[in-house]
């Protein structure tokens, strides 16, 4: 990566970075070395680092004390892979119920400030996670790694269409920032970044993209699908577009092919979560996903909880290697992945052949348009004790809201939820509330989508 930002006035070359930028560059340099290590060496370093997290959790996180002792852990020892697999899986329900008990009672100053991160993922289970400045630094270093792997020209404009809070980047204008974000701007001069809320309908998004003329587009796969349908019908492309960057959902082979055919560019995907940051990056050579082994330890488990072999698909369980504020040890994301094979690129980082996780559906509007249903961002538990949610659109006017709650809701709470949901959906749909105990119904394949459009196509 070319470094063009210097922190010393009067010195532009070679650039002299400030302390934070120097840390990012040091991490990038280390990434380049260890991503080609022998596989066993990488795992040894992961277990060494995770041992520190587990020991910290045993000492200072009430939630973990008993479960770690039952797994045979004692203070100061070195964690083995076999011992790790004896630690019970941490579920999103555990994270909801144990949000206080999962917080570290002691956090050494060297890990920096603590920030809250909220997410529903694609599971409809809202959670809150604490992350330290060290976590944030690794997140940014992996973002730079992604740009570096794909050889992106960061002097071009980046346009992002994604879920944001109301009032941020509202359509039709959106918002403009001077650069690509704190990671990129720390090391080089970038082009501008444009942002548009996913509350915009597809026609508005297309008009906005025409005006922005970006070099790179970032959005969610299901939203990209709707954009591609529009551009294909109009027989139009975006001149100057180099690639489409996707996050948040699974990317199908069909979508990749359609993107090449319609826009003439490839999809470059990232698998990440708000709780864990970057988990895996798509390889520019093979298209497989390389696990960010310096930040996370990933397991893919079958129905019996045993490790999957290459080519097998199982549930993802992930350990954060640096979160001392709220350790996530064997955290089950709710996604599925297929274990990959050795990669032609020469990197020895663990591989995932594909992320088999969940696609969210597009909301269909009575006027004929489509819109991304940004229901995952709503603060449900600030209004009512909502444990899980799912929305099923049965017609152009009717949406079923399925809820699991800690108790029976009052009429006022239900009314407040209804108002919040219809505002987020952007149309006064008729909402029908349905309440379930324990868990929400799942389809035969076991995969859950927080929003399902059940209106037949055509």
Domain end point (choices 299, 333, 358):
358
CA dihedral angle for residue 313, residue 316, residue 317, residue 319, rounded to 10 degrees: 120
Task: Please report whether residue 436 resides in a domain.
Answer: yes
Q: Are residues 253 and 122 in the same domain?
A: yes
Quick check: is 129 in a domain?
A: yes
Residues 387 and 294 in one domain: no
Q: Of the residues 358, 381, 401, which one is the last residue of a structural domain?
A: 358
3 with 147, same domain?
A: no
Is 203 domain-assigned?
no
Residue 106 lies in a domain: yes
- Phi and psi of 208, rounded to 5°? -65, -40
| Residue 289, preceding peptide bond in cis (omega within 30° of 0) | no
Residue 308: pLDDT band (50, 70, 90) is very high
CATH assignment of the domain containing 427: 3.30.300
Same domain, 78 and 3: no
Residue 113 tokens, joined: 């400030």
pLDDT above 80 (res 9)? yes
Return the closest-CA partner of residue 208 out of 172, 235, 241: 172
DSSP H helices, 266-392, are: 380-383
Inter-residue contact 60 to 105 (CB < 8 Å): yes
**Which of 121, 101, 34 has the alpha carbon at shortest distance from 450?**
121
CB atoms within 10 A of CB 199: 20
Peptide bond into 454 cis (omega under 30): no
Number of separate domains in the chain: 3
The answer on 148 and 133 residing in a single domain is yes
Asked if residue 371 and residue 292 are part of one domain, the reply reads no
CA distance 71 to 77: 13
| 390, 331: one domain | no
Q: Quick one: tokens of 308?
A: 């999957």
**Residue 143: which CATH number?**
3.40.50.12780
12 plus 71 within the same structural domain: no
**Arithmetic mean of pLDDT, 218-234:** 89
In angstroms, the CA 255 to CA 395 distance is 26
How many alpha carbons fall within 13 Å on the CB side of residue 258?
17
CA distance 86 to 72: 8
pLDDT digits (tens, 9 = 90+) for 378-409: 889 899 999 888 899 999 999 999 999 999 99
Same domain, 424 and 318: no
**Contacts (Cβ under 8 Å, ≥6 apart) of 256:** 266, 267
Residue 55 covered by a domain = yes
Same domain, 377 and 447: yes
Average of per-residue pLDDT across 169-193: 95
Asked if residue 186 belongs to a domain, the reply is no
**For 256-273, what is the mean pLDDT?**
96
CA dist 347 and 453 (Å) reads 40
Co-location of 260 and 346 in the same domain: yes
Inform me whether the pLDDT recorded for 451 exceeds 80: yes
The structure tokens 């973002």 sit at: 143
Q: Are the CB atoms for 130 and 115 separated by under 8 Å?
A: yes
Between helix 221-234 and helix 202-212 the angle, nearest 10°, is: 80
136: domain range?
39-152+242-358
Same domain, 367 and 351: no
Is residue 199 in some structural domain? no
Q: What is the pTM of this model?
A: 0.81
- Whether 202 is covered by a domain: the verdict is no
């Amino acid at each position: 990566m070319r470094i063009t930002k210097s922190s010393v006035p009067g010195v532009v070359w070679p650039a002299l970075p400030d302390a934070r930028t120097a840390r990012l560059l040091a991490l990038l340099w280390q990434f380049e070395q260890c991503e080609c290590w022998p596989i066993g060496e990488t795992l040894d370093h992961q277990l060494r680092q995770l041992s520190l997290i587990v020991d910290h959790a045993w000492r200072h996180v009430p939630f973990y004390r008993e479960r770690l002792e039952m797994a045979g852990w004692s203070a100061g020892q070195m964690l083995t892979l076999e011992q790790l697999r004896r630690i019970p899986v941490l579920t999103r329900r555990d994270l909801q119920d144990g949000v206080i008990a999962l917080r570290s009672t002691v956090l050494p100053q060297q890990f920096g400030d603590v920030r809250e991160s909220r997410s529903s993922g694609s599971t409809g289970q809202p959670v809150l996670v604490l992350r330290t400045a060290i976590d944030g630094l690794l997140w940014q270093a992996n973002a730079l790694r992604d740009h570096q792997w794909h050889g992106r020209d960061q002097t071009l404009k980046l346009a992002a269409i994604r879920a944001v809070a109301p009032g941020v980047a509202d359509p039709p204008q959106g918002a403009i920032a001077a650069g690509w974000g704190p990671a990129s701007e720390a090391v080089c001069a970038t082009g501008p970044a444009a942002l548009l809320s996913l509350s915009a309908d597809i026609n508005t998004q297309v008009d906005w993209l025409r005006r922005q003329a970006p070099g790179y587009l970032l959005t969610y796969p299901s939203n990209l699908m709707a954009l591609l349908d529009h551009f294909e019908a109009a027989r139009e492309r975006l001149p100057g577009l180099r690639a489409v960057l996707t996050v948040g959902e699974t990317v199908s082979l069909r979508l990749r092919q359609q993107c090449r055919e319609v826009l003439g560019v490839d999809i470059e995907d990232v698998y990440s979560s708000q709780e864990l940051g970057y988990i895996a990056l798509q390889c520019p050579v093979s298209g497989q996903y390389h696990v960010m082994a310096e930040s996370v330890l990933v397991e893919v488990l079958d129905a019996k909880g045993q490790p999957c072999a290459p080519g097998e698909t199982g549930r993802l369980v992930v350990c954060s290697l640096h979160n001392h504020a709220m350790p996530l040890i064997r955290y089950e994301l709710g996604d599925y992945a297929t274990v990959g094979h050795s990669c032609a690129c020469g990197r020895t980082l663990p591989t995932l052949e594909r992320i088999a996780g969940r696609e969210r559906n597009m909301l269909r509007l009575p006027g004929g348009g489509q819109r991304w249903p940004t229901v995952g961002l709503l603060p449900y538990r600030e209004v009512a004790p909502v444990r899980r949610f799912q929305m099923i659109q049965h017609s152009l006017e009717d949406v079923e809201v399925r809820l699991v709650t800690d108790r029976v809701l009052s009429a006022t709470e239900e009314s407040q939820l209804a108002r919040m949901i219809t505002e987020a959906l952007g149309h006064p749909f008729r909402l029908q509330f349905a309440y379930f105990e324990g868990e929400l119904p799942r389809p035969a394949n076991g995969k859950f989508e927080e929003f399902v459009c059940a209106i037949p196509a055509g």
